[in-house]
Structure 1
């Protein structure tokens, strides 16, 4: 276990022990920016408990980044588990590491457990429910059950996923959610689903994905000027996992090119996948589609480089499969497109539809059907100047409604209101 002490002279008014499921170092903005920076600035420090991403993952296009680079967690100490390379031992070692940290948690004001259902249940038993806050960024049981129903996994793996999904679903909705001090959910829709499945009607706090207002202020949202004859570049920024149905975008591109064969189009897919096999599957689908010459796949990039490449495109696209897994999500990519001044084309999951309602004219919302998306691409291209101007004008709304300073204030108020001493 690696432990690195707090940085600088800062003394927090409240100390959190913060467990995350994501491999560390974690670049997710709802971890690094929200907890590492904005809550820290509000007097809420956090010591992070995480599993270190192995150096063997460095540079793997499916893993999305390097190993630990020595940068300290800005809000406090790091308690890092160095995992075994054997999958079974890795899971057991991580659980034992988290359990050790729970036994040492008496000096903390509260524990925030992100997406680790078993750890949250143990925290409630060991530390008391009044100090435990569960952070639900993704419906883990539902995702396991969805993967178990697919044919992308081998039979034994599907059975294991089904068993895990059933067990963690019972533990989450019948034990953790009803007892935790508060439950942070990623969208209003997720709050409705969690309430229905757990019977808990209060204490569910929606904290959607946000945008870093510092980066927003530093970057210029200038609508991209198109030079006659240049291809119209459509960008997707995010995960390439099969569950995301990125191959749908290939169908859209093919239909756009069929309807408008005289003008050029390119699809730019920026990001990695959860495993090398998932990424390789999409690479193979691109080859089989016959569209290799029209699709660019630079893989996972550093945030600045990804934004630079995306900012050189004309249209940001976000097609999120409907269903119990993703209907409750709050995608970051739509916010990033708007921050870059890109018009957006999205499908009708609740959070995306709500954002488009609040940024009128910045894009189009259509059902996830290839012909409807293709029609919308052509419509946006035909009226590009108006759509791009509306996207650029959405920045004040992004900062006021989805800036992490605003979201941090919501989290801080919830923590202070829920804790017995109101710190």
Structure 2
């Protein structure tokens, strides 16, 4: 068994990577266990790490190109060719110890075929049930768009959802020696589809313990927060996430707490989505009760976070939410912020084990009542705040997750 392992990894995420479950887990933690990665994928718009010290990075094409949906498998093939060292590398017997595809469909087929040709294990990493996401988009179009254009869009999304289902569940996952998933709930859900549970490992979202150490975070000096009861949503907003639910909750809160201020520290995936959120705020007359910051450097966003009394983590129930492991609850807990979260399985599990927050259905009145409970009971909020960091350090930091993932890779390669 080699002490140094190399993984060729085709990613859906933009390169250079910005997500902690790539940047921290594979960029920092995996090399400590002798696991190095050659990243393959498309370039993004956001700035990431300048290079990839944990192995190599091979960027071909642009994620936001209008050609990406068609060309990305070809781009990935070229990137993989480069990762293998081209013809010279192949003739010299250069090959990774395994080939992994993350959250891609057509490239999942490519990865399975390439792994067979290279005679190395094929691994799939599912951080999101993307096929079911396509189905949700199809159904949203059916509900909200009418006429010939709406029917045409529905047909296109229906075809994509149907084809993607057959590719992933009939061609890609059956050929994977191992499947990494984001939660135990996702593993159980896939097991219900007939995939062996023993071939799956859940890797929930975590945090960088040093980055999310409250003692190292400087609170922002923003006078708009002075004298307000600040509640926080840290992360992106989007219609598909039902982000307007945050405004429903704020409307409920301001009736009994006129000094409440919801800080949404994050951006939207597009200008249209941000404009939609601003229109919703204005239509409800919440301009004095909602601060929408837009994109912020991470340290600045954390500076807003530590000025909050309560952190909000709404996530709709359903296949998408129920199988995910959102980061927000873990981030709030690491920073010592009492949390109110919806009752998807991973959030239920974390809050039940840690005792660091309240878990309620995604209903505006129930959510607002839980927030008021924490705002009106500072002793309970203090207890929740104290429990969060200890739980995260014991269970959900990337050094702990990294040890488990590295152990799994070595087990896979010994089969």
Band the TM-score falls in, shorter-chain normalisation: 0.7 to 0.9
Q: Tell me which residue corresponds to 1:393.
A: 387
Pick from 60, 73, 79: which aligns with 1:81? 60
**Range with bigger deviation, 237-246 or 95-104:** 95-104
SS at match of 1:82: strand
Q: Deviations over 1:200-227 (max 9, x none)?
A: 3321110000111222457369999xxx
TM-score normalised by the chain length of structure 2? 0.88
Where structure 2 has 5 or more consecutive residues not aligned to the other structure, the ranges are 85-93
Correspondence 1:206-355 to 2 at 5 A: 206-217=202-213, 219=215, 230-258=227-255, 260-261=256-257, 263-355=258-350
Q: Following the alignment from structure 2 to structure 1, what is the Cα–Cα distance between the partners of residues 262 and 109? A: 44
Per-residue CA shift, 1:72-127, capped at 9, x if unaligned?
1121111001339751x233332212113445645111112110122122211222
Matches of 1:37 and 1:280, distance apart in 2: 37
The structure 2 residue matched to 1:46, chosen from 26, 29, 37, is: 37
**Residue 120 of structure 1, aligned match among 93, 102, 108:** 108
Is the contact between residue 223 and residue 341 of structure 1 (CA under 8 Å) also seen in structure 2?
Answer: no
Q: Distance in 1 between matches of 2:71 and 2:171?
A: 24
C-alpha deviations, 1:326-382, integer Å up to 9, x for none?
A: 11110101111111111000110000011101111x221111111111111111111
SS of the aligned residue for 1:100 comes to helix
2:24 to 13, 29, 33: 33
Deviations 1:248-271, CA, capped at 9 Å, x for gaps: 11111111112x15x400111122
On the 8 A contact 1:234/1:316 being kept in 2, the answer is yes
Please tell me whether the aligned partners of residues 42 and 63 of structure 2 are also in contact (alpha carbons under 8 angstroms).
no
Q: Aligned with 2:198: secondary structure?
A: coil
- Residues 15 and 41, structure 2, Cα contact 8 Å, conserved in 1: yes
> Is contact 2:313–2:340 with CA below 8 Å preserved after alignment?
yes
Aligned counterparts of 2:198 and 2:34: Cα–Cα separation in 1: 26
**Aligned twin of 1:59:** none
**1:308 Cα deviation after fit:** 1.0
SS state of the match for residue 13, structure 2? strand
- The match for 1:180 is 176
Structure-to-structure mapping, 1:9-28, within 5 angstroms: 13-28=4-19
Describe the shift of the 1:85–1:328 C-alpha distance in structure 2 as closer, same or farther (beyond 3 A): closer
Structure 1 residues 163 and 315 mapped into 2: Cα distance closer, same or farther (>3 Å)? Answer: same
Structure 1 stretch 208-217 or stretch 146-155: which is displaced more? 146-155
The 8 Å contact of residues 102 and 127 in structure 1, kept in 2 or not, is answered as no
TM-score w.r.t. length of structure 1 = 0.86
2:74 pairs, out of 96, 102, 108, with: 96
Cα distance in 2, alignment partners of residues 286 and 407 from structure 1: 39
The answer for the alignment partner of 2:396 in structure 1 is: 402
Taking only aligned residues, the RMSD between alpha carbons, in angstroms, comes to 2.5
Q: Per the alignment, do residues 285 and 185 of structure 1 end up closer, same or farther by CA in structure 2, a change over 3 Å counting? A: same
Quote the Cα distance in structure 2 between the aligned partners of 1:25 and 1:308. 25
- Distance change in 2, residues 1:264/1:134 (3 Å): same
Structure 1 residues 23, 230: closer, same or farther in 2, change over 3 A? same
